[in-house]
């Protein structure tokens, strides 16, 4: 806590400080005088009494320099907010306590003491703002007093001032290097911004770089005649201080903002390969002034980090998009989201407040929390359902997944102790190597056409799955398995037993994939993934490897980076996913059909529209359902979604509610804009990588709860109808819909491979 106390006489509270402001008394650099520009307020001071001061560093004590620097660097943001409040409640603010770390000795109140000076704002007539430009390397302020006195010009050495550098950096990182008038940000901007909070500032109509401070009518008419007036009535000026500020920044900021939105809208309608398109888009959509700005040499100067203004611009546009989406996300995750979705779904007709409250999100489970679920023997001390509900409503931190997914996927059951799990692991290890040996030791099997085809399929696919993830990329240098850690050394021992081990001696030192020999895999991780998939091909003989599985295994391998654990989590995962891959596609067809029924039941209006567009086959969901939205969400979101689905918290087919939520979230746009089969299809395909997971999960949950309530209501009405003999009124709920309430996973195994039918 920062201490607060009342100001003593001779003390002021610093409101604003800019460091490294210089006076240039002579043309020689070595005569420059370095100091702080500040605004400060003494006890019982009105806004007009606020002191505008320049304090030379060499006239301040070490402690005071420290305070000045602190206020400069850390307090701007905070202060601006605080100032607004104190501006409104002036009377209170003046008397109230001040932060101790803002209090310094009052700068000497004379026009000029040595090189330092200090005057009340009411004595300032005008300030000329000279931005940095090709003529002036340093931006500067020229202050004229009401006496017609010209104070020494204040030069802002932006390249030395810590706060300015910091702000510039932040702005560059946000790709928003401009101030509100559309120019590049410089050190003087903050000063003017703060000044505007305290006093009426009017831009001169004659010379726009001149700001008139609290001017009267005559001043406004002919400010050039500035040698007049010596005093000003305190009363009228304090009134002026509370008047609204007339000064308006030019509107380019707003213009930029509008442009942002135009770009955003268009970006959002694009396909996945946005990078190049964004560049074109910006060319098309950037407002003229922005383009002109981008061609300015100063702007290009920012771009040390960037290849060119064009790329800068593209990054800007992308940043805009992310920023906007981020704020959208934030907004949506506020309480409003519940209200909004509920209102839209009409769920308050169906759901109690308690049910709706249950859907609120929690923080992901971190390692500490996860550990707290277990007692000394490594047994759960809360119920598995409690944990599942926590995971469902907030997910896991990445470092928890390694352990938690073993439970979620059923590799370990929830009621085991740490010791039992150790034993289990050993048996998993043995079982894995047994399965692996089945193909490793069987040269005859490995020479069958079927087996070689399968191997080729696996190799083709792992070479093109998630290659943007670091561990799946090829290293620039030759693999260094000989110098790796113990764990990896084990792996490489294991590998020697594999007939698929590449001949390391003959391995060329290059980064390229061998186009003609996919089997020669140089990345050890890809190598492991292939071993696991080949072993799975043996473990589940009827199913074997099917395209799509490489997408399912890669997040698991990413977590474990270990053959045994990846194999078993994958095998368990495949138990529930097997129905997606069966040869006759019946599992997928059934899910699409269930989704179709669910859509009719829950979103009849959208269903009717899709019917008109010949889109009720919902074909665009094929990929989403097949690999559980793996291709639709960003890498990190995939983990979160999958662990949510693993919980079977509400339904073993919750992924169909996620699909329903995707439709529900886009219902309006589909109905209003899309008329044709291919339009709907393209729109839905292009949602890939553009959806935000959290709001979608909330929507899915609410849709489920609504669904459940609807079924309950129907059942209740039915039983009333039956008991009163009105059998005509009984509504039949489709079996597949009712099954959605079931938490038991649906297992559909592949049948034996018919003679002569290939794999894949």
Partner 1 sequence: MSFPNPVTSVKLVLLGEAAVGKSSLVLRFVSNEFQENKEPTIGAAFLTQKLTIGDRAIKYEIWDTAGQERFASLAPMYYRNAQAALVVYDVTKPASFVKARQWVKELREQASKDITIALVGNKYDLVEDDNEEDLVRKVNVEEGQNLADEEGLLFFETSAKTGYNVKDVFVAIGNKIPEATASGSDTATNQTSGEGRIDLSGGGNFNNATSGCC
Q: Which of 290, 234, 273, 299 is nearest to 44 (CA)?
A: 234
- Report helix angle 524-539 to 549-560, nearest 10: 120
| Helix or strand (DSSP H, E) at 319 | helix 309-333
- Sole binder of partner 1 in the list 28, 672, 723, 724 (CB under 8 A): 672
Q: Is residue 447 a contact point for partner 1 (CB under 8 A)?
A: no
Measured from the Cβ of residue 118, the count of other Cβ atoms closer than 10 Å reads 20
Nearer to partner 1, 497 or 511 (CB): 511
User: What part of residues 636-665 is at the interface with partner 1 (CB under 8 A)?
Assistant: 665
* Binding range to partner 1, per CB under 8 A, among 196-204, 299-307, 579-587, 708-716: 579-587
Q: What's the closest the beta carbon of residue 182 comes to partner 1, in angstroms?
A: 24
Nearer to partner 1, 131 or 583 (CB): 583
Q: What's the closest the beta carbon of residue 581 comes to partner 1, in angstroms?
A: 7
Residue 377 CA to residue 608 CA, distance in Å, equals 57
| Helix or strand (DSSP H, E) at 283 | helix 274-285
* Binding range to partner 1, per CB under 8 A, among 105-113, 201-209, 309-317, 619-627: 619-627
CB 101 within 8 A of CB 2: yes
User: What part of residues 308-367 is at the interface with partner 1 (CB under 8 A)?
Assistant: 325, 328-329, 332, 344
Q: What's the closest the beta carbon of residue 567 comes to partner 1, in angstroms?
A: 21
Q: Is residue 612 a contact point for partner 1 (CB under 8 A)?
A: no
Q: Is residue 631 a contact point for partner 1 (CB under 8 A)?
A: yes
- Sole binder of partner 1 in the list 38, 53, 86, 666 (CB under 8 A): 666
Nearer to partner 1, 236 or 269 (CB): 269
- Sole binder of partner 1 in the list 547, 561, 596, 739 (CB under 8 A): 547
Q: Is residue 584 a contact point for partner 1 (CB under 8 A)?
A: yes
Q: Is residue 436 a contact point for partner 1 (CB under 8 A)?
A: no
Residue 219 CA to residue 227 CA, distance in Å, equals 10
User: What part of residues 147-166 is at the interface with partner 1 (CB under 8 A)?
Assistant: none
CB 18 within 8 A of CB 163: yes
Q: What's the closest the beta carbon of residue 457 comes to partner 1, in angstroms?
A: 7
End-to-end CA distance of the chain: 65
Nearer to partner 1, 133 or 511 (CB): 511
Q: Is residue 476 a contact point for partner 1 (CB under 8 A)?
A: no
| Helix or strand (DSSP H, E) at 575 | helix 563-581
Tokens of 311: 């790329």
- Sole binder of partner 1 in the list 26, 230, 276, 443 (CB under 8 A): 276
Handedness of CA 691, 655, 395, 533 (dihedral sign): negative
Measured from the Cβ of residue 476, the count of other Cβ atoms closer than 10 Å reads 7
Q: What's the closest the beta carbon of residue 664 comes to partner 1, in angstroms?
A: 9
User: Which stretches of 666-692 are DSSP H helices?
Assistant: 667-673, 677-685
Tokens of 151: 């104070």
Nearer to partner 1, 133 or 676 (CB): 676
Q: Is residue 193 a contact point for partner 1 (CB under 8 A)?
A: no
- Sole binder of partner 1 in the list 422, 678, 712, 715 (CB under 8 A): 678
Distances (CA, A) of 654 to 176, 409, 473, 698: 41, 15, 33, 12
Tokens of 72: 């400069």
- Sole binder of partner 1 in the list 659, 695, 706, 707 (CB under 8 A): 695
- Sole binder of partner 1 in the list 170, 270, 689, 747 (CB under 8 A): 270
| Helix or strand (DSSP H, E) at 92 | helix 90-95
- Sole binder of partner 1 in the list 461, 578, 643, 701 (CB under 8 A): 461
Return the percent helix, strand and coil in the chain, to nearest 5. Answer: 55, 10, 35
Nearer to partner 1, 337 or 440 (CB): 337
CB 645 within 8 A of CB 628: yes
- Sole binder of partner 1 in the list 230, 273, 482, 483 (CB under 8 A): 273
Residue 543 CA to residue 549 CA, distance in Å, equals 11
Residue 576 CA to residue 642 CA, distance in Å, equals 12
- What is the rounded (10 degree) CA torsion for 220, 226, 232, 235? 20
Nearer to partner 1, 263 or 302 (CB): 263
Q: What's the closest the beta carbon of residue 645 comes to partner 1, in angstroms?
A: 18
User: What part of residues 507-526 is at the interface with partner 1 (CB under 8 A)?
Assistant: 513, 515-516
What does the per-residue mask of binding to partner 1 show for 23-52, with x meaning CB under 8 A?
------------------------------
Q: Is residue 758 a contact point for partner 1 (CB under 8 A)?
A: yes
Residue 132 CA to residue 124 CA, distance in Å, equals 23
- What three-state secondary structure class fits 402? helix
Nearer to partner 1, 199 or 663 (CB): 663
- Sole binder of partner 1 in the list 256, 533, 691, 702 (CB under 8 A): 691
Residue 502 CA to residue 492 CA, distance in Å, equals 11
User: Which stretches of 627-758 are DSSP H helices?
Assistant: 635-646, 654-665, 667-673, 677-685, 693-723, 735-739
- Sole binder of partner 1 in the list 669, 713, 720, 747 (CB under 8 A): 669
Q: Is residue 478 a contact point for partner 1 (CB under 8 A)?
A: no
Q: What's the closest the beta carbon of residue 75 comes to partner 1, in angstroms?
A: 35
Nearer to partner 1, 53 or 666 (CB): 666
Residue 706 CA to residue 410 CA, distance in Å, equals 29
* Phi, psi (deg, nearest 5) at residue 729: -85, -5
* Binding range to partner 1, per CB under 8 A, among 454-462, 651-659, 703-711, 728-736: 454-462
Residue 619 CA to residue 627 CA, distance in Å, equals 14
Nearer to partner 1, 247 or 683 (CB): 683
Long-range contacts of 215-223 (CB under 8 A, 24+ apart): 219/125, 223/126
User: What part of residues 393-412 is at the interface with partner 1 (CB under 8 A)?
Assistant: none
What does the per-residue mask of binding to partner 1 show for 208-247, with x meaning CB under 8 A?
----------------------------------------
52: left (phi over 0), alpha (psi -120 to 50) or beta: beta
User: What part of residues 728-757 is at the interface with partner 1 (CB under 8 A)?
Assistant: none
N residues, the chain: 760
- Sole binder of partner 1 in the list 668, 722, 726, 749 (CB under 8 A): 668
* Binding range to partner 1, per CB under 8 A, among 15-23, 133-141, 405-413, 625-633: 625-633
- Report helix angle 524-539 to 418-440, nearest 10: 90
- What is the rounded (10 degree) CA torsion for 315, 321, 326, 328? 170
Distance of CA 483 to the CA centre of its chain: 38
Looking at the DSSP bridge assignments, the partners of residue 211 are: 127, 203
- Sole binder of partner 1 in the list 546, 595, 599, 641 (CB under 8 A): 546
Q: What's the closest the beta carbon of residue 508 comes to partner 1, in angstroms?
A: 16
Q: What's the closest the beta carbon of residue 251 comes to partner 1, in angstroms?
A: 21
Give Dmax over CA atoms of the chain in angstroms: 107
Q: Is residue 450 a contact point for partner 1 (CB under 8 A)?
A: no
Using CB under 8 A as the binding criterion, the count of chain residues that bind partner 1 stands at 65
- Residues at the interface with partner 1 (CB under 8 A): 261, 265-266, 268-271, 273, 276-277, 325, 328-329, 332, 344, 457, 460-461, 463-467, 513, 515-516, 546-548, 550-551, 581, 583-585, 617, 619, 622-623, 626-627, 631, 665-669, 672-673, 675-676, 678-679, 681-683, 685-686, 691-692, 695-696, 758-760
């Amino acid at each position: 806590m920062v201490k607060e106390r009342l100001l003593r006489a001779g003390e002021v509270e610093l409101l604003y400080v800019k460091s490294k402001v210089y006076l240039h008394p002579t043309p020689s650099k070595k005569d420059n005088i370095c100091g702080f520009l500040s605004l400060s307020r003494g006890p019982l001071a009105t806004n007009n009494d606020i002191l505008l001061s320049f304090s030379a560093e060499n006239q301040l004590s070490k402690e005071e320099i420290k305070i000045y620097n602190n206020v400069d660097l850390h307090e701007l943001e905070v202060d601006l907010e605080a100032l607004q409040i104190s501006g409104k409640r002036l009377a209170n603010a003046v008397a109230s306590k001040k932060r101790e770390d803002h209090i310094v000795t009052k700068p000497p109140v004379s026009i000029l003491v040595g090189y330092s000076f200090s005057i009340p704002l009411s004595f300032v007539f005008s300030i000329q703002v000279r931005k940095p430009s090709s003529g002036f390397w340093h931006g500067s302020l020229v202050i004229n007093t009401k006496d017609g006195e010209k104070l020494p010009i204040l030069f802002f050495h932006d390249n030395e001032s810590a706060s300015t550098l910091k702000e510039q950096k932040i702005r560059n990182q946000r790709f928003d290097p401009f101030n509100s008038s559309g120019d590049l940000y410089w050190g003087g901007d903050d000063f003017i911004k703060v000044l505007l909070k305290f006093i009426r500032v009017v831009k001169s109509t004659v010379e726009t770089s001149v700001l008139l401070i609290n001017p009267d009518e005559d001043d406004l008419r002919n400010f050039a005649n500035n040698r007049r007036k010596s005093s000003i009535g305190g009363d009228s000026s304090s009134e002026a201080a509370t008047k609204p500020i007339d000064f308006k920044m030019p509107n380019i900021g707003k213009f930029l903002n509008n442009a942002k939105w135009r770009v955003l809208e268009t970006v959002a309608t694009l396909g996945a390969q946005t990078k190049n398109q964004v560049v074109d888009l910006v060319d098309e959509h950037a407002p003229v002034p922005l383009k002109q700005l981008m061609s300015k040499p100063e702007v290009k100067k920012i771009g040390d980090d960037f290849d060119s203004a064009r790329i800068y611009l593209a990054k800007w546009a992308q940043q805009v998009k992310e920023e906007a989406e981020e704020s959208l996300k934030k907004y949506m995750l506020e309480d409003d989201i519940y209200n909004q979705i509920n209102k839209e779904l009409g769920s308050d007709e169906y759901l109690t407040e308690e049910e709706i409250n249950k859907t609120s999100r929690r923080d992901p489970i971190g390692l500490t929390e996860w550990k707290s679920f277990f007692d000394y023997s490594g047994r759960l001390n809360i119920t598995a359902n409690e944990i599942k509900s926590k995971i469902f409503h907030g997910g896991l931190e990445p470092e928890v997944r390694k352990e938690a997914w073993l439970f979620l996927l059923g590799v370990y059951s929830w009621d085991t102790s740490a010791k039992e799990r150790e034993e289990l692991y050993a048996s998993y290890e043995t079982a894995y190597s047994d399965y692996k040996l089945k193909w490793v030791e069987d040269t005859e099997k490995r020479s069958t056409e079927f087996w070689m085809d399968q191997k080729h399929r696996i190799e083709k696919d792992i070479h093109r799955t998630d290659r943007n993830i670091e561990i799946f990329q090829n290293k620039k240098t030759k693999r260094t398995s000989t110098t790796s850690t113990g764990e990896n050394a084990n792996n490489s021992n294991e590998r020697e037993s594999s007939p698929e081990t590449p001949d390391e001696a003959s391995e060329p030192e290059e980064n390229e994939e061998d186009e003609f020999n996919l089997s020669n895999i140089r990345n050890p991780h890809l190598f492991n993934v292939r071993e696991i998939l080949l072993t799975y091909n043996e473990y589940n003989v009827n199913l074997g490897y099917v395209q799509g599985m490489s997408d399912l295994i890669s997040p698991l391998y990413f977590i474990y980076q270990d053959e045994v654990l990846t194999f078993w989590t994958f095998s368990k995962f495949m138990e529930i996913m097997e129905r997606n891959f069966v040869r006759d596609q019946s599992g997928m067809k059934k899910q699409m059909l269930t989704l179709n029924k669910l859509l009719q039941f829950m979103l009849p209006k959208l269903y009717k529209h899709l019917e008109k567009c010949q889109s009720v086959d919902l074909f665009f969901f094929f990929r989403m359902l097949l690999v559980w939205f793996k291709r639709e969400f960003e890498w990190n979101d995939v983990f979160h979604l999958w662990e949510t689905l693993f919980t079977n918290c509400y339904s073993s087919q919750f992924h169909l509610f996620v699909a329903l939520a995707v439709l529900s979230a886009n219902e309006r746009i589909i109905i209003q804009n899309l008329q044709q089969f291919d339009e709907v299809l393209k729109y839905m395909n292009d949602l890939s990588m553009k959806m935000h997971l959290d709001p979608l999960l909330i929507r899915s949950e609410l849709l489920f709860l609504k669904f459940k309530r609807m079924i309950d209501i129907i059942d209740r009405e039915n039983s009333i109808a039956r008991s009163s003999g009105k059998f005509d009124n009984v509504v039949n709920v489709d079996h597949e819909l009712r099954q959605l309430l079931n938490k038991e996973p649906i297992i559909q195994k592949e049948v034996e491979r018919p003679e002569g039918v290939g794999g894949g």
